[in-house]
Amino acid sequence: MEVTADVVVIGFGAAGACAAVEAATAGASVVVLDRFTGGGATALSGGVVYAGGGTRQQVEAGVTDSVDAMYSYLRHEVRDAVSPETLRRFCEDSAKMLAWLEDQGVPFDARVSPFKTSYPTDDHYLYLSGSEDAWPDPAPRGHRTRAKGTSGRVFFTRLAEAVRRAGVRVMPQTRAVELIVANGRVTGVRCRTLTGLPRAVHSALSKVGAKPWLYYPPLGRKLFGLAAWLERYGRPLVVHAGQGVIIAAGGFIADRALVHEHAPAYRGGLALGTPGDDGGGIRLGVAAGGRTARMDKISVWRFITPPSALQRGVLVDSDGQRFGDATLYGAANGGAIVERGGKAWLLIDDEILQAARAQVKTQTAPFQRWQVRYLLGRGLVTAPTIEEVAAKAGISPPEPFGTPPYSLINVSVRAGFGYPCPMLTLGGLVVDEDTGQVQGVAGLYAAGRSAVGVCSESYVSGLALADCVFSGRRAGQHAAKEARC
């Protein structure tokens, strides 16, 4: 079986969907391939897009922000993952990018969260999603998709609708196994595609297994293992690309061996993604002649809030030594905890504990309450003195502060059930920052977590989705330009 299109996109998450819409809008015929049914890690995410410099929502909320302020803050986070010119372009285009998403049907809201949180409740959709408070001119730039619960499903659904409105052909249950290279150029993709009953069962298993994969991995692995077994019944398919192939197949957090090879210190966390985040897209690019970078960059999320009162606590290690800053974004503290062997505790006094307990009802979304039950319950030990509480926790006594009794909350990477430590990969294929083309490989592009991008050094909430939109649109536009040449 053979199919032909101008542009072929591998992966149907945020980056793939944005690439497809842009390529189709520019007049190219587009085929999207996805191993499962689409959505990927995007659909399981919080649906937060990092944007600023004066978005419609910021203006409506009375928030003062500028491109310069956004750029200045992100320089501290992004560092040299991309060039200053690319980051400046990302910031300058940020408000227009969010407006483009709204044009595709993705809803946003201007209600600002009045408290520090890892994810806002259904009453708030604009919030400080990173460590902005630690730098000059902070502004809320986390734009959560307006939806109940975690918003990623609605974010992706609206993009998927836009893809289909654009006339793109989407082929689910189709796994890309090899890129076709002719005369030094990528000209297509060899695939295995499911049909009939195996396709229907594969689809059902992947849909049912998505949440268990995140929240109860043993069950998720079994369900997706059955789905992978069914892939043996896939039929050969060749998809010819007239001018461009775009890899947007996610990262590699689901491949434990690959994570251990590149970042051996990052073990024991929750793989934040889907089984499709197995590095398959990155491997395709490497096999075609591409190279990778920043494969050792893993974002580890150790969120302390909500409740917001807990950010007044002090992080300490096994030796009782203070480190980090509890007011910073969870990934900043997660990385610092990994550097200390994955062990850490949050020291709080009685005043902080009582304030935190009073905030639970108003500051937590339903999915966050498991974490709060751990933080203020099973993960906490309390004693009248610093020496006694340290002995209970099994660490050296830290320097006291505040009002006794004192409490220590175990915030280690492997703290226990109910308080997982999510991790995702940030590295990938090296691309030309003006076009998204994989360096050294004609006809091949990469976007999202399959490529090095804006968030490949440091992650804050919303930056990965924003980069998926930014890099996906870039790849789609330039692949379509080649199709018109």
DSSP result, 61-95: HT----HHHHHHHHHHHHTTSS-HHHHHHHHHTHH
In a domain? residue 109: no
Q: What is the mean pLDDT of residues 271-282?
A: 92
pLDDT at 159 (0 to 100): 98
pLDDT at 26 (0 to 100): 96
Per-residue model confidence as pLDDT tens digits over 88-132: 999 999 999 999 999 999 999 999 999 999 999 999 999 999 999
Contact 416, 381 (CB under 8 A): no
Contact 38, 206 (CB under 8 A): no
> What's the total number of domains in the chain?
2
256 alpha carbon, distance to own chain's centre: 18
Residue 312 tokens, joined: 């007044």
pLDDT at 161 (0 to 100): 98
Q: What is the DSSP string of 136-167?
A: SS----EEE-SSSSS-HHHHHHHHHHHHHHTT
Burial class (CB in 10 A: 0-12, 13-18, 19+), 397: middle
pLDDT at 268 (0 to 100): 72
Identify the CA nearest to 316 among candidates 398, 384, 388: 398
Pair (174, 293) in one structural domain:
yes
- 84 preceded by a cis bond (ω within 30 of 0): no
Pair (169, 30) in one structural domain:
yes
Per-residue model confidence as pLDDT tens digits over 18-28: 999 999 999 99
Cα 248-3-251 angle, rounded to 5 deg: 15
Please state, rounded to an integer, the average pLDDT across all residues of the chain: 94
Pair (480, 400) in one structural domain:
no
Query: How much of the chain, in percent, has pLDDT values that exceed 70?
Result: 99
Pair (287, 306) in one structural domain:
no
What confidence tier does 484 reach under pLDDT thresholds 50, 70, 90? low
Judge whether residue 458 has pLDDT over 80.
Answer: yes
Judge whether residue 238 has pLDDT over 60.
Answer: yes
In a domain? residue 353: yes
Pair (327, 432) in one structural domain:
no
444 alpha carbon, distance to own chain's centre: 23
Predicted TM-score of the model (pTM):
0.94
Cα 189-242-20 angle, rounded to 5 deg: 75
Q: Give Cβ neighbours of residue 75 (< 8 Å, ≥ 6 apart).
A: 84, 87
Per-residue model confidence as pLDDT tens digits over 195-229: 999 999 999 999 888 888 877 888 988 999 999 99
Could you give the residue ranges of the DSSP H alpha helices within 288-407? 330-339, 350-363, 369-373, 386-393
Backbone angles phi, psi at 282, to 5 degrees: -65, -40
In a domain? residue 211: no
Judge whether residue 448 has pLDDT over 70.
Answer: yes
Count Cβ atoms below 10 Å from residue 167 Cβ, excluding itself: 11
Pair (16, 161) in one structural domain:
yes
Q: Give Cβ neighbours of residue 173 (< 8 Å, ≥ 6 apart).
A: 34, 35, 36, 37, 193, 194, 199, 202, 203, 234
In a domain? residue 140: no
The whole-angstrom separation of Cα 80 and Cα 424 is 19
Q: What is the mean pLDDT of residues 385-392?
A: 96
Contact 152, 47 (CB under 8 A): yes
Single-letter code of the amino acid located at 212 = P
Pair (310, 456) in one structural domain:
no
Pair (389, 285) in one structural domain:
no
Pair (350, 473) in one structural domain:
no
Count Cβ atoms below 10 Å from residue 26 Cβ, excluding itself: 18
pLDDT at 288 (0 to 100): 97
pLDDT at 323 (0 to 100): 93
Q: What is the DSSP string of 437-463?
A: BBTT-BTEEE-GGGB--TTSS---TTH
Query: How much of the chain, in percent, has pLDDT values that exceed 90?
Result: 83
What CATH number is attached to the domain comprising 369? 3.90.700.10
Buried/exposed code over 377-393 (b: 16+ C-beta within 10 A; e: otherwise):
eebbbbbeebebbbeeb
- Of 410, 434, 453, the one marking the end of a domain is 410
In a domain? residue 51: no
Residue 382 tokens, joined: 């309390």
Judge whether residue 360 has pLDDT over 70.
Answer: yes
Residue with tokens 């991790």: 423
- Of 387, 410, 433, the one marking the end of a domain is 410
What CATH number is attached to the domain comprising 461? 3.50.50.60
- Of 410, 439, 455, the one marking the end of a domain is 410
- 307 preceded by a cis bond (ω within 30 of 0): yes
Pair (316, 404) in one structural domain:
yes
Residue with tokens 């069950």: 219
In a domain? residue 27: yes
Q: Residue 310: which domain range?
A: 302-410
Pair (332, 394) in one structural domain:
yes
Judge whether residue 417 has pLDDT over 80.
Answer: no
Backbone φ/ψ region at 240: left (φ over 0), alpha (ψ -120 to 50), beta: beta
Beta-bridge mates of residue 293: 428
Per-residue model confidence as pLDDT tens digits over 52-71: 999 999 999 999 999 999 99
In a domain? residue 334: yes
In a domain? residue 131: no
Pair (355, 245) in one structural domain:
no
Per-residue model confidence as pLDDT tens digits over 141-187: 999 999 998 999 999 999 999 999 999 999 999 999 999 999 999 99
HSE-up (13 A, CA, CB side) for residue 149? 8
pLDDT at 426 (0 to 100): 96
Q: Give Cβ neighbours of residue 321 (< 8 Å, ≥ 6 apart).
A: 398
